[in-house]
Structure 1
Amino acid sequence: MVSKYLPAGESSPIEHMRKCGARCRDGTPCEGVAIRGGQRCRMHGGAAPAVRDAATRRSEEVAVERAVHKYGKPRRTTPVQALEEELDRTQGHVDWLAEQVGRYPEEPVWRSVYQAERDHLTKLAAHMVTAKTAERRLALGNRTAALVGDLIDAVLRDFGLDTTDDAVRRVIRRHLDAMQGKSTDPAAQVEDAEVVGTEDTQPVEF
């Protein structure tokens, strides 16, 4: 559609709107503009209350979807970081609600919401302590393992042993498993094994 009111080469905004999906009596497509959120123009059923209500709901859903896409994009975080952010937000809620309770002491709803947010803050704080403790233990364990590995390599090199040799690595692994309560001794591995077979199978003594 070319308008005499537009500069040459420019299209009318109506060309970028959703067109009605109905057909006219002569079989040609309707050139009317569909109502917001709908598929029909006002002349082809778009003015009906039920159609308008459905179109309004669809428009609201689309707006929410766009808002989520714009403001809710994924980003990388960790459990501790997520807890810290939620803890900060909840503390802000608690502070604001405390002001409302002081401003409207006769309104029980403010005190109820205030108490609920305080309970949520307490639970978050407890989870934060647990998460922080686990994070520190993991970091300490990793540092300790790295130090022990470096120590073993240094000691073995001082004795002239090759730490990349398979025989040396098997010895190291055996001692590490023993320290962790495991065993690589074949006899120890089958000590608690269950013998499964037919009814005529005799118990095996070790």
Structure 2
Amino acid sequence: MAASIGPPEDGASMGRRRCTARRTDGNPCGNRPLKGQSVCKFHGGAAPQSRAAAVRRQVEAEARQVLAELGVSPVGDPLEALLKLAGQVIAWQEATAALVNQLDSIRYQAGSGEQLRAEIVLYERAMDRAVSVLSAIARLNIDERLVQVTERQADALIGALNAALVAAGVDGERAELARRAAARHLRSVD
């Protein structure tokens, strides 16, 4: 068998990416894809929507990299995250309300005339944010969705318990006792 001289034909072992499209004769294209894309300019990479999508993917990749460097973990459950944010927004609104309640007056005299106190401005912004987050929660029916998620998790748990009982050969009255014990335990868990 003769030794091959020169770079490998596909260029893949050298880390070079190739256009994923195929030529009209059915063979792989072989051109380099455009940055952020999987195809070359001849196979749609130069189209405005392809360029825009490539830019979006690059920005998203850079944002993920920055978040990774900051040690920020991705949101696993956006519904829970929004509810947590709502709690923080309400707590901030209440904190600014306490500051406003301590004021003797809502305005003060400055060199440029009478001005509104900063505490009032903070309180107004906090109220606006609270309305915004709470409106989003109401629009998305988050409480209803969380109930659906919990019901699906319970169904999956029941299915897993039943499968485990069958696999262990537990049936009849002993299986029913195990199900009741599991139900009691789950009710006691907050």
Higher relative contact order (CA 8 A, sep 6+): 2
TM > 0.5 between the two?
no
TM-score where L is the length of structure 1: 0.30
TM-score where L is the length of structure 2: 0.32
Larger radius of gyration: 1
* Higher share of residues assigned strand: 2
